[in-house]
Structure 1
Amino acid sequence: MADLHYKQSPQPSLGYKDDPHQQTLCTQVAKAITAVTAGGSFLVVAALILTGTVIALTIVTPLFVIFSPVLVPAVITVAFLSLGFLASGGFCVMAITVLAWIYGYVTGKHPPGADQLDSARDKLLNKAREIKDCGIVN
């Protein structure tokens, strides 16, 4: 017997509901108008923000020049204070983490890295025994 292959005849699309890839002209025009309107609005807002920034920079530049002997040391001081607080907070978090790890190790909860610590301790103890057996250290 011969295999029969049936070809389905293409059916005309009736719009967006039947075939999502084929849209009506009205839908395409509406999308284009929406895109142009939104793009134009964003372009106008961007231009206004740029204009405002340039005007503000023009007004503020002389003030920066006049007050720079005060502003530069103030900015440096604030930067150092901020870095100090950030470093202090970072060291505090690190200390709490280390103390929590040590607590877990001492209580036998086997935190991550405990195997490496035990291995290093065993190597050091073996090396100390070898040195002591050689008679170098009493």
Structure 2
Amino acid sequence: MADRDRERDRQQLQLHPQQQQYRYEGGLKNILPQKGPSASQIVAIVTLLPVSGTLLALAGITLAGSLIGLAFATPVFLIFSPVLVPAAILIAGAVTAFLTSGAFGLTGLSSLSWVLNSFRQATGRDPQDYAKRRVQEATAQVGEKTRQVGETIKAKGQEGVGREGRESGAAVGAPAGRPA
């Protein structure tokens, strides 16, 4: 039985020959890299240590100042809360209404754009071309009507001048007050 276990262990060792066992031989040389840090790494560390220390100190000072300010402001908030709470609610409501209005406007514009694109794809026509054509037709009708009214006014004017000339005995086109 012991022979079988030895044989099995030997087969397992032969099956995995690439596995190597590393031993810790101790000493500081094996932990540290073989060569030291480069000059640029040393300069970077020497430069970053004071900068990071200064920033950390400023963060601590800011935190302490915030806590002291909160300690002094808390009684003021409690005294003025009957005014501050409704004011905060009013401001929050106004901001919410403004943002909601903008969201509804954007939704409306995007919906209108979607409908126009759907119409274009379904009919193969552009609704703007239809509107332009209708405006051109209306402009042409207005121009025609204006020309007709102008001709009517001109005809009535000539008719009125002709009637006055016959009534007064003067020739058409002659200055008023002089006989022809």
TM-score, normalised by the number of residues in structure 2: 0.44
1:88 aligns with 2:88: no
Distance apart, 1:29 and its partner CA = 2.7
By relative contact order (CA 8 Å, sep 6+), the higher-ranking structure is 1
Provide the C-alpha distance between the structure 2 equivalents of 1:80 and 1:49, rounded to a whole number of angstroms. Answer: 32
> Residue 67 of structure 1 corresponds to which residue in structure 2?
80
> Residue 113 of structure 2 corresponds to which residue in structure 1?
100
Distance apart, 1:23 and its partner CA = 5.0
Q: 5+ residue gaps in structure 1? A: 1-21, 111-138
> Residue 152 of structure 2 corresponds to which residue in structure 1?
none
Q: 5+ residue gaps in structure 2? A: 1-35, 124-180
Distance apart, 1:60 and its partner CA = 1.2
Provide the C-alpha distance between the structure 2 equivalents of 1:23 and 1:63, rounded to a whole number of angstroms. Answer: 56
> Residue 40 of structure 2 corresponds to which residue in structure 1?
27
State which structure, 1 or 2, has the greater radius of gyration over its C-alpha atoms: 2
Provide the C-alpha distance between the structure 1 equivalents of 2:119 and 2:70, rounded to a whole number of angstroms. Answer: 60
- Per-residue CA deviations over 1:69-121 (Å, capped at 9, x if unaligned) read 111111111111211111111011001100111111112279xxxxxxxxxxx
Matches within 5 A, 1:1-138: 23-24=37-38, 26-108=39-121
RMSD: 2.3
Q: What count of residue pairs does the alignment treat as equivalent?
A: 89
Letter in 1 for 2:58: V
- Per-residue CA deviations over 1:19-75 (Å, capped at 9, x if unaligned) read xxx853x43332221121121111111011112111211221111011001111111
- Residues 95, 31 of structure 1: alpha-carbon distance in 2 compared, 3 angstrom cutoff: same
